Chains A and B, each alone.
Chain A
Amino acid sequence: MKRRKFLQTAAFAAAWAAGQRCLGWSLTTEPVGGAGIDEGSGLARAELEKMFDAIAAAHAKEPFIVTRTKWLTALFDHVRLAANADDAFVHWFADCDLPGRRCWQRLKAFSESAPERKLCGKWTTATNGAWRARLDTSHTCPDWESILALGPKGLADRARKRRETAKTDDERLFLDCVTEVYDALSRLCVRWAAVAEKRGMPACAESLRAIAERPPRTLREALQLSLVYDRGQEAEGECVRSQGLFDRLYVKFYRDDLAAGRETRASAKALIADYFTRLYAQGHPNGKNIGFGGYDAEGVPVWNELTELGFALHDELNRPNPKLTYRFGKKTPREQLEKVTRCLANGRTSIVFANEEILSEMFRRRGKSAEDIVQYVLVGCYEPGIQGREIVASMAAEVNLAKPLEAVFNNGKDFAGFPVGPACPLPENAEAFEREYLRQLDAMIGAAVATARLCEQAWYELNPSPFMSGAYRDCIAKAKDSSQGGCKYNQSGIMCGGIGTVADSLAAVRYLVDEAKLVTMAEFGEVLRADWKDREGLRLRAVRSAPKWGNNDDRADLPAKRIFDAVAARINAEPNGHGGTFQAGFWSIDLDKPFGDCTAATPDGRKAKTPISRNNSATAGCGKEGPTALLLSNAKLDLAESPDGHIADVILPASLAKASFGASGIAAFLRSYFEMGGQSIHLNCFDPSTLRDAMAHPENYPDLQVRVCGWNVRWNALSRREQLHFLATAEAQTGH
């Protein structure tokens, strides 16, 4: 009750909105818990700003990592802290955006400082929606094993000890910075304990004092440390996008607590429920991913008390966030998988499923060791990475695969005149068109990759991360920041969206120009430039009669495969800017709309400024053959060559979910995809009739969730345009 009252205050709304804005997030999910800031526990924002300015001035001549360390230390020592008596844990403090915000200002200044840097972080103006490259600081999976094994003090001590054998000034500087921020984190825990004590949270206060001094020993301490670390890293400016393999990281604490009588199963469950709630309360619109299941080092599927509890809670809480990953493979017993799919049958769809066999093969091909592979997680939405051994950075660049279609018709430029690739004559037929498309795409990827590399080469200068790097065991062993290649693996991802639109367009060119001869290539370019004006009949032919990706039709699927192979081969071989390689990802998240807004009409019948295809789905309204065909199309791709992730987005009819075999039917559907070589998959389970009713009577559907493209939201939080887009896709996929 107390919490609800607080949530209605203007102070909370302002604090919430400020935090969201500064981290570049929009307020699309509703918070359920929150700040509860203790005004007397620290300095006001203006005073902190002054302190930050003074630090920046005092250390202007030193490497930026010094300033960054001092900022973070000042924040930990002086920020105002939050605690709520209704909660089991503390998780939030004021002004956590300050250091990150200042780093983004540095990146902005960087991109404006020299001609060759001007494309970094730009979008519609610089590349006209073709691609964007930037520093990706929003996709990380911390080294949770080190954090939980050592605690803040142990992490500081580890860096201190390593300093004794450091060889260079740079190494010593990095290790000093790590020591300083983790010493400050211990002090933060002590300060936070006092606020928790004052707010009537004695158990929480005790756990905070404990983790200030030593590694966690109980489940409560371990979960509290996870939340403190999470806040610390996000305050530094990097989003934590995987809470790690939950059932492996915490089961020892759980078992020890039960054995010692410190917790019962019910009280431990309540703690985990509050931990989930704290993550939900952060309001991150794209969610926090928590891993479960998978094979252990002996190849045995992991299913323990916490796997069971995690999914039981997901079912009970019915929240879009945290979102869960379930890793399974051929060896996973059916009953385990069906305990997870039961959540989906109940409408709890904030779960992504990852294929043990394909992802293991994918990691092997990328040179990752067997012992590391068993520790993989999905970071952010569905980007694979090794927990604690790499940052992931899955969105170093975003590529709009549909954009080069314009350039093929327009001599290497899009219809607005922006250059995409080399000059080219108009192709005579579909085969030449595809060849030229790939040439334009290759040039476009080359530009995106070069710019992403440029950003990463300046990473240390722009955004060193002593806090995040200080937890990674490999960064300490190498005495290097993660931005300098300190992690064991240093890949970064280039995500590519719109494969459906491109495959459909190549198939439509073949059908309309070569086969049906309804239009010449030259006319077709003019038709598209004019956005199908006065050619509605031709457009409908393209939409209704040309083959479509996602229907298990080779006429569209094989072009998709050729594009996939070319993109993967190109990107996966490119060195990045911090000691690793780039890696190709095939997904769009919700960039299908901004990509579409920047893309002219396409040969598949799509009109200008409408969304392109989302993730690896069929174009909205064109998946007429249903979910099995969509998976068959995707399974034609070699998904072990998509190391930055590949997701199958599926809408299942609610009747399947509700049928007596709902959980087992869904499980069979998922197993089928993985059997064929699928990488990751997530599902929506609803009927279009439900969505239509929810549009007409939103008041009756406060809890209806939909999986947008890697995260869930409440239906009522979507815009009308997004709702209509969902409805069209659902109608095509479910056939009514």
Chain B
Amino acid sequence: MKTPLMLDTTRMAIHDGPGLRTTFFVKGCPLKCRWCHNPESISPEPQWARFPDKCQRHETCTMDEAACPTGALKLYGKTMSIPDIVAKAREDRVFYEQSGGGVTLSGGEPLFFWEWAVELFQAFKAEGFHTCLDTSLFAPPVAVEKMLPLVDLWLPDFKTEDADRHKTHTGVPNGLIKDNLKLLVKAGAKLEVRMLIVPGCTDGQDVADRHRYLRSIGIRDEDVVELEYMDLARSKYAALGMPDTMPKKPL
């Protein structure tokens, strides 16, 4: 079983499903979207980032996050066991109960670690949590099938309907994703499909095509959300030493 490193935990998340939620982010994703706003989530390995605008290149630098006087150093990717994750989620139980919220797993790509995700979600369900899964759906169908009884609301990304464009901009084809979407529809899963609109990449006709496709496979318009693209992650690409591939957002 592949176990991911964890990137971050967001408490009181409000955009990752209904109510007040705790969202856990895994590190590692099989896609390489040009516009990825979490480039630190692509590699499954731990990564040091040095934010050059903050770094004063101290002679005594020990590459110690806690001792860095300017906060320029950051280590992405930390281990967190399933019991640790569940314990963290449990802290905010009263907020979920009062708001109709729960827990969300995001990334990275959670289904990149699907066997682990199944185990985690079984633990979430044992706690009685409402669960959401934020996923690209680029995963073997068996992963989706195993997760089906454990996920209350699926939050799949649908990046583009065009196969070539998908391959160009994300590095992988979208056949598997479409198959998994159909699988979810067939199973009657509750969905909120997210469509990021990236200027110059997946805007204009692409948006219309995506809507048409989703309708054609039986997904209702009210279950589809369009998201605005923000190019605010450039400093992270630089800090990680990765080439900045983010498309520019027109003013």
Contact = CB atoms under 8 A, between A and B. Distances in A.
Contact of A536 (B10, B69, B94, B95): B69
A629 B19 contact: no
Contacts of A653: 14
A540 B98 contact: no
Contacts of B126: none
A653 B20 CA distance: 12
Nearest to B91: A552
B197 to A, nearest CB: 19
B234 interface: no
Interface string B1-37: 0000000001110110001100000000000000000
B92 interface: yes
A629 B69 contact: no
Contacts of B94: 672, 675-676
Contact of A669 (B15, B68, B95): B95
Interface stretch (A90-98, A407-415, A620-628): A620-628
Interface string A649-676: 0000101100101001100110110011
B12 A627 contact: yes
Contact of A540 (B19, B69, B92, B97): B69
Interface string A415-438: 000000000000000000000000
6 contacts: A656-B12, A659-B14, A668-B98, A669-B12, A669-B95, A669-B99
Contacts of B66: 540-541, 544-545
A454 interface: no
A656 B14 CA distance: 7
Nearest 5 pairs of A and B residues by beta carbon:
A668-B99, A668-B98, A672-B98, A545-B66, A672-B95
A590 B126 CA distance: 45
Nearest to B9: A625
SS of A interface (majority): helix
A537 interface: yes
Nearest to A544: B66
A675 B67 CA distance: 39
B100 to A, nearest CB: 8
A579 to B, nearest CB: 41
- Majority SS at the chain B contact face: mixed
Nearest to A670: B98
A653 B10 CA distance: 13
B70 to A, nearest CB: 10
Interface string A135-176: 000000000000000000000000000000000000000000
Nearest to B58: A537
B99 A672 contact: yes
Contacts of A629: 11, 91
Contacts of A669: 12, 20, 95, 98-99
A665 B20 contact: yes
A455 interface: no
Nearest to A668: B99
Interface in A431-453: none
A632 interface: yes
B2 to A, nearest CB: 28
Contacts of A333: none
A672 B94 CA distance: 6
A628 B11 contact: yes
A735 interface: yes
Contact of B11 (A545, A626, A672): A626
A628 B20 contact: yes
A572 B11 CA distance: 36
Of the listed residues A545, A661, A665, the one surrounded by the most CB atoms of chain B closer than 10 A to its CB is A665
Given A537-B67, A665-B99, A655 B11 contact: no
